[in-house]
Amino acid sequence: MRAVAQALGDVRFDALVRRDAPEGSLDHVSLCHDSHYIDELRHIAPSNGLVYLDGDTSMSPGTWEAVMRGVGGAVAATDAVMKGEHTNAFVATRPPGHHAESNKPMGFCFFDQAAIAARYAQRTYGIGRVAVVDFDVHHGNGTQEIFWADKSVMYCSTHQMPLFPGTGASQERGEHGTVVNAPLRDGDGGVKFRSAFDNLILPQLQTFAPELIIISAGFDAHRRDPLASLELDAADFGWVTQKLLDLADRSAGGRVVSVLEGGYDLQGLQESVAAHVTALMGKQSPA
């Protein structure tokens, strides 16, 4: 988070409207997560030390507040965009969320704030069709599971495969054909990534005509990242952001909410966030 703040501290981002993420409510979380799971996670949250929930996912005394501010930030950004205060927003919070299933934490994730934002927009503002677009290098199994049987939400993902969590094959389409997976191979770079969007994801999104786009903005597909082996660079993230903004202009009144997911090389993360937010600012200074 310090690296992201440093990147966005550059003078070219002076026009950004910046807000601290408020704590979300359990009512927001319950839009996508099982009540028993929520209660269990609250009970497990430690007052000192670390509690490991699986081999990757642990909680410290600060985790619960961080997670709830991630939820609150996603909800607040959705409010700002849906009320017309801003055309788009970038939610720079951690931990990420897209691996969290409706009743299970996984892969550093506890609650799926991108999914919560999508459902919140539907319940609060009557949005009929929402798209969640995920370009994190890992497949968002949680978002896919939450919306698997929901024809009102389209989930689209590029990701390296095989790689954690092992889901995301192209034949995984959801009950209504609203899951679009475009797996990439070890060593694939910008050409393959852009082709996946141009030839598969963007045409299906255009047909779906979402009224709001939520981006699961993970930057661990950057060539420098230690957790995977795709070969993207910052320009690729700027490119895909612009493509999604253009599509949002056509069907969603330009409305885009972007939520930070992965990205674990600090230089790669800084470069990628800068390219992503620069594209967002081309439309309107995001919150």
Cis preceding-peptide flag for 183 (omega within 30 of 0): no
Strand partners, 130: 153, 212
Give how far the C-alpha of residue 72 lies from the chain's centroid of Cα atoms, to the nearest Å. Answer: 14
What is the model's pLDDT at position 160? 98
Average confidence (pLDDT) over 255-280: 98
The Cα 75–Cα 21 span in angstroms is 9
Does pLDDT of 283 surpass 60? Answer: no
Q: Do the bridges between strand 256-260 and strand 88-91 make them parallel or antiparallel, or are there none, so unpaired?
A: parallel
Do residues 154 and 110 lie in contact, with contact meaning Cβ atoms separated by under 8 Å?
A: no
- DSSP code at position 217: E
What is the model's pLDDT at position 287? 37
The Cα 112–Cα 44 span in angstroms is 18
The Cα 183–Cα 210 span in angstroms is 22
The Cα 70–Cα 125 span in angstroms is 20
Helix 63-82 with 113-125: angle, nearest 10 deg: 40
- What number of residues does the chain have? 287
Does pLDDT of 117 surpass 90? Answer: yes
Give how far the C-alpha of residue 182 lies from the chain's centroid of Cα atoms, to the nearest Å. Answer: 16
- 214-225 pLDDT, tens per residue? 999 999 999 999
Nearest to 165 by CA among 104, 236, 95: 104
Residues 6+ apart with CB under 8 A from 146: 32, 101, 102, 112, 115
Q: Which fold has domain 2-283?
A: Arginase; Chain A (3.40.800)
What is the model's pLDDT at position 285? 38
Do residues 182 and 157 lie in contact, with contact meaning Cβ atoms separated by under 8 Å?
A: yes
- 42-78 pLDDT, tens per residue? 999 999 999 999 999 999 999 999 999 999 999 999 9
Average confidence (pLDDT) over 248-272: 98
In three-state form (DSSP H/G/I as H, E/B as E, the rest C), the secondary structure along 131-151 is: EEEECCCCCCHHHHHHHCCCC
> What amino acid positions are annotated as catalytic residues?
99
* 284 confidence band (pLDDT: 50, 70, 90): very low
Contacts 24+ apart (CB under 8 A), 199-203: 201/133, 201/156, 201/158, 202/243, 202/247
Does pLDDT of 196 surpass 90? Answer: yes
Share of the chain above pLDDT 70, in %: 98
The Cα 234–Cα 272 span in angstroms is 4
- 72-113 pLDDT, tens per residue? 999 999 999 999 999 999 999 999 999 999 999 999 999 999
> What are the sequence ranges of the domains in the chain?
2-283
Q: Do the bridges between strand 212-217 and strand 256-260 make them parallel or antiparallel, or are there none, so unpaired?
A: parallel
Which of 264-277 are b and which e, b meaning 16 or more Cβ less than 10 Å from the residue's Cβ? bbeebbbbbbbbbb
Does pLDDT of 286 surpass 50? Answer: no
What tokens were used for 171? 């034949």
Average confidence (pLDDT) over 27-31: 98
